[in-house]
Amino acid sequence: MAQAALATGAQTLENLVGGTLARKAAITVLGSIFLAALSQIQVPFIPVPMTLQTLGVMLIGLTFGFRLAAATVALYLIEGALGLPVFAGFSAGPAILIGGTGGYLFGFLVAAALMGFMADRGITKSWPGAIATLVAGEVVIFGMGIAYLAYLYGFEKSLEFGLYPFILGDLVKVALAALLGKGVIKGASNFASL
C-alpha cells in the first residue's frame, strides 16, 4: 500500500497506514486529542489568543489527507460545541464558536480540508509544495478569522487584534510544520513498509 501511495504522489497517513475503518477512526480521534492539547499552549491576547492550534491544524492538513484531516478538525469542533474543554484555555460550548475566535475555528476546518486535498494530489511531496500548501492553509484561516472579526468589531480592529500580532509566530509555525510533517510522513512510510 505504501508503494502504491508513493507511486501516485500522495503521501498522507490515510494512504500510508489508513487501512481499516477502525484505524482511520483511531487516527481521527487521536488527531482531535492532539489538536485539543496544542490548543492549551497559548499566549493570551484579546479577542484571539495565540496558541499552537494552527500548528496542529497545519500538521493534520499536511499529513492526514483530505478525508481524515476534515474529519479530525470537524470532530474537534463538535467536541468543543458539545462542551468538552478542547478550545483554547480549556473553553467549550457553542458561544466560543460564535465569539471572536469563531471565524478562525471554522477556518481550521476549511484549511485542513484544503491542505489535505493538496496533500492527496502529491503537492506536498516537495519542500516548495509543502510550504505552499501550509501558506494556503494559513491564508484560509486568517481570511475567515479576520472576516468574522471585521463583522464583529470592524476591519481595522480585526487586523490590529486578529492578524498583526500573529504574523511572525505563524511564519515560524509554517517552517516547523513543514519539518515535522515531512518527518511524520517519512516515519509512516517506514512503518507501512514493514
CA proximity to 58, closest of 102, 98, 118, 16: 118
Average confidence (pLDDT) over 15-21: 77
Which amino acid, 88? A
pLDDT in tens, 38-70: 999 987 766 677 889 999 999 999 999 999 999
The average pLDDT across 125-131 equals 95
Does position 83 have pLDDT exceeding 70, yes or no? yes
Full residue range of the structural domain in which residue 140 is found: 2-192
- Per-residue model confidence as pLDDT tens digits over 131-189: 999 999 999 999 999 999 999 999 999 999 899 989 999 999 999 999 999 888 888 77
pLDDT for 23-46, tens place per residue?
899 999 999 999 999 999 987 766
Q: Which CATH number does the domain housing residue 158 bear?
A: 1.10.1760.20
- Cell numbers 507501512: residue: 192
Q: Which residue has the cell 478542547?
A: 86
Q: How confident is the model at residue 123 (pLDDT cuts 50, 70, 90)?
A: very high
Q: What is the number of structural domains in the chain?
A: 1
Is the separation of the CB atoms in 52 and 41 below 8 Å? Answer: yes
In the prediction, which pLDDT does 67 show?
Answer: 94
Q: Which of these, 166, 136, 143, lies nearest to 47 by C-alpha position?
A: 166
pLDDT of residue 16: 77
At residue 9 the predicted structure's pLDDT band, cuts being 50, 70 and 90, is low
100-129: average pLDDT: 96
**Predicted local confidence at residue 47, as pLDDT:** 67
Q: What is the pTM of this model?
A: 0.89
* The three three-digit cell numbers of residue 53, written as one number: 492550534
Q: What is the pLDDT of residue 19?
A: 74
